[in-house]
Chains A and B, each alone.
Chain A
Amino acid sequence: MLEKISLNSANNDAGSDDIIGVHDLYKCFGPVRAVDGISFSVRVGELFGFLGPNGAGKTTTINLLTGLARPDAGEIFLDGLDVRKSPSAARYLIGVVPDESNLYPELSGFDNLCFCAALYGLKKSERQGRARELLEFFGLSEAAGRKFGDYSKGMKRKLAIAAALIHQPRILFLDEPTTGLDVASARQIRKLIAGLNRTGTTIFLTTHYIEEAERLCQRIAFIVSGRIVRIDSLENLLKPLKGQYSLLISFSEEVREQAELQAKFRSAFPELGFELVNGRELRVRSAQPVAVGPLVRFFEEQGCEILEARRMHPSLEEVFVELTGIEAEQMRKEREKKERANG
Chain B
Amino acid sequence: MDKTEGRRRTFFESGVWIAFWNILVKDMRTYYLKPPNISWGIIFPLAWTGMFFIRTGSSFSSLLSLLPGVVALSILFGTTSLLAVTITFEKKNRSFERLLLAPISLQRLLLAKTSGAILFGVVNAFLPLLMAAFIADLRAVNWAYLLAAVVLIATASTFLGLFIAVAVSEVFEAQTFSNFFRFPMIFLCGLFFPVSKLPPFLRPLSYVLPLTYGADILHGAVNAGNALPLWLDFLVLGTFCLGLFALSLQNVNRRWIK
Contact = CB atoms under 8 A, between A and B. Distances in A.
Interface of A: 3-4, 7, 10, 29, 66-70, 88-89, 91-94, 96, 98, 100-107, 115-116, 118-123, 163, 167-170
Given A102-B95, A104-B30, A121-B11, 8 more contacts: A10-B5, A70-B257, A70-B258, A94-B101, A118-B21, A119-B99, A120-B15, A121-B7
A102 B97 contact: yes
Contact of A116 (B5, B98, B100): B98
Nearest to A91: B103
B59 interface: no
Interface of B: 3-5, 7-12, 14-16, 18-19, 21-23, 26, 30, 93-95, 97-105, 257-258
B15 A122 contact: yes
B104 A88 contact: yes
A182 to B, nearest CB: 22
B100 A68 contact: yes
B257 A69 contact: yes
Contacts of B11: 92, 120-121
A155 B253 CA distance: 33
Given A7-B8, A88-B105, A168-B3, A120 B257 contact: no
A91 B102 contact: yes
Contact of B258 (A69, A102, A105, A119): A69
Given A102-B98, A105-B93, A118-B22, A68 B257 contact: yes
A170 B4 contact: yes
A167 B257 CA distance: 23
B26 A92 contact: no
Given A102-B95, A106-B30, A123 B103 contact: no
A68 B101 contact: yes
A132 B50 CA distance: 52
Given A68-B97, A68-B257, A102-B94, A7 B7 contact: no
A67 B4 contact: no
A118 B16 CA distance: 9
Contacts of B94: 98, 100-102
A7 B100 contact: no
26 contacts: A4-B12, A7-B12, A66-B101, A67-B257, A88-B105, A92-B11, A93-B4, A94-B101, A100-B94, A101-B94, A102-B93, A102-B94, A102-B95, A104-B26, A104-B30, A118-B19, A118-B23, A119-B19, A119-B22, A119-B23, A120-B11, A121-B18, A121-B19, A167-B7, A169-B4, A170-B4
